[in-house]
Amino acid sequence: MEEKLQPGKIEGGLSAAGLRFGIVVSRFNSFITERLLSAAVDALDRAGASSKDVDVVHVPGSFELPLAAKKLAATEKYDALIAIGCILRGETAHYDYVCSETSRGLQLAQMDSGLPIAFCVLTCDTLEQAINRAGLKGGNKGFSPPLKWLICHASFAPPIPSRLPPESCGASNVSLRTKAREFAMQMLFQWDMSQQDFTKLEAKFWKSAKAADKTRAFANKLFEGAAKEVTALDEIIVKHCENWRFERLAAIDRAILRLAIHEMSGSETPPKVVLNEAVEMAKKFSSEDAGAFVNGVLDTVHKSLQKK
């Protein structure tokens, strides 16, 4: 009887022993955030973290969390950061702006630094919801994210070289190219935010991101090609984004579209493959609806390219 496939697993445990954590906490709605902080510290304690390896920094409100997280990441003292806040809906659109920019800012800080940042920011319609989420009437939701982050940290560690498939294998080439596209998208995203010199950005990026030489070379080629053609690519995006203003596009979605259109236009990779990869990236890195949006835009772009 043919032996059933048993894939090898590369997994991390839930031990925080020896790891350093920075926790950034909003003072606004401190009745809630201090409860979340207590639960997060308790979670780290149970996972084996030492008191000397956990630092807590308070900021005025959730809007200030991204900057504080970025500054802590820049010290290179920590293995991970945890951002804690509580944003309550009011009578104006202020809530939407703060929620959006806080989450986007923390995402940018994470991608720019390569340091995992656990998102423990409650976004609630009412104080009652926040009280329930903070565990004052039940289980504390601040307890779970730090433990989930510990798994995340293990997954960010470089894979064991002996367990990686050889690049010469066709199946692994698909996998490695997928990873290269993700790396290229992340560099394009960072470049869009900072407008850094290509060489400097790549050097900084590859300090934290680990990849085989071929994967790195392909990622750099895609990133540089898309960045150099960004004006033309944006014109194509604007043309095919019905009912969407270009400046309203999420930066992640913009990077994914730019990269995919660049590859569709000038590579030997089948456009359908590029489209599918872009959709999967959108689902992984952007919002729930981003996959369908990216699919719609790229499908119309693909059809227009076929007519040429």
Judged against a pLDDT cut of 50, whether residue 270 lies above it is answered with yes
Judged against a pLDDT cut of 80, whether residue 92 lies above it is answered with no
Q: How far apart are the C-alpha atoms of 182 and 233, rounded to whole Å?
A: 18
Judged against a pLDDT cut of 60, whether residue 30 lies above it is answered with yes
With vertex at residue 56, the alpha carbon angle to CA 52 and CA 61, rounded to the nearest 5 degrees, is 175
Cα 84–chain centre separation: 17
Indicate whether 87 and 101 sit together in one domain: yes
Among 8-22, 119-133, 163-177, 206-220, the least confident range: 163-177
> Is residue 10 one of the residues assigned to a domain?
no
The CATH code of the domain that includes 98 is 3.40.50.960
Among 1-15, 166-180, 278-292, the least confident range: 1-15
Indicate whether 177 and 277 sit together in one domain: yes
Confidence of residue 126 (pLDDT cuts 50, 70, 90): confident
How many structural domains compose the chain? 2
Last residue of a domain, one of 139, 156, 173: 156
pLDDT of 168 reads: 36
Name, in order, each residue with C-beta under 8 angstroms of 249's C-beta and a sequence gap of 6 or more. 237, 241, 257
Indicate whether 30 and 142 sit together in one domain: yes
pLDDT digits over 242-267, tens only?
777 777 788 888 999 999 999 998 77
Q: 210 versus 272: which is more confidently predicted?
A: 272
> How many CB atoms within 10 Å of residue 19?
18
Residues acting as catalytic residues:
94
Confidence of residue 90 (pLDDT cuts 50, 70, 90): confident
Indicate whether 183 and 134 sit together in one domain: no
Three-class secondary structure of residue 124 per DSSP: strand
Three-class secondary structure of residue 164 per DSSP: coil
Indicate whether 63 and 97 sit together in one domain: yes
> Is residue 251 one of the residues assigned to a domain?
yes
Indicate whether 101 and 199 sit together in one domain: no
Mean pLDDT of 82-105: 86
Confidence of residue 40 (pLDDT cuts 50, 70, 90): confident
pLDDT of 150 reads: 52
pLDDT of 145 reads: 54
Confidence of residue 164 (pLDDT cuts 50, 70, 90): very low
pLDDT of 65 reads: 94
Indicate whether 127 and 172 sit together in one domain: no
Q: How far apart are the C-alpha atoms of 144 and 3, rounded to whole Å?
A: 38
Indicate whether 168 and 303 sit together in one domain: yes
Mean pLDDT of 221-234: 93
> Is residue 167 one of the residues assigned to a domain?
yes
Last residue of a domain, one of 128, 156, 184: 156
| Structure token pair of residue 277 | 């990869």
Residue 204's φ and ψ, nearest 5 degrees, are -70, -40
Indicate whether 121 and 168 sit together in one domain: no
pLDDT of 162 reads: 35
Last residue of a domain, one of 141, 156, 171: 156
Indicate whether 134 and 202 sit together in one domain: no
Judged against a pLDDT cut of 60, whether residue 13 lies above it is answered with no
Beta strands in the chain (DSSP E): 21-26, 54-59, 80-88, 117-124
Q: How far apart are the C-alpha atoms of 157 and 210, rounded to whole Å?
A: 9
Confidence of residue 155 (pLDDT cuts 50, 70, 90): very low
pLDDT of 279 reads: 92
pLDDT of 184 reads: 93
> Is residue 6 one of the residues assigned to a domain?
no
> Is residue 16 one of the residues assigned to a domain?
no
* Structural domain for 51, as ranges: 21-156
Confidence of residue 136 (pLDDT cuts 50, 70, 90): low
pLDDT digits over 14-26, tens only?
567 778 889 999 9
Indicate whether 255 and 150 sit together in one domain: no
Among 101-110, 158-167, 275-284, the least confident range: 158-167
| Cα distances (angstroms) measured from residue 94 to each of 9, 88, 100, 101, 145 | 45, 10, 10, 11, 26
Indicate whether 38 and 152 sit together in one domain: yes
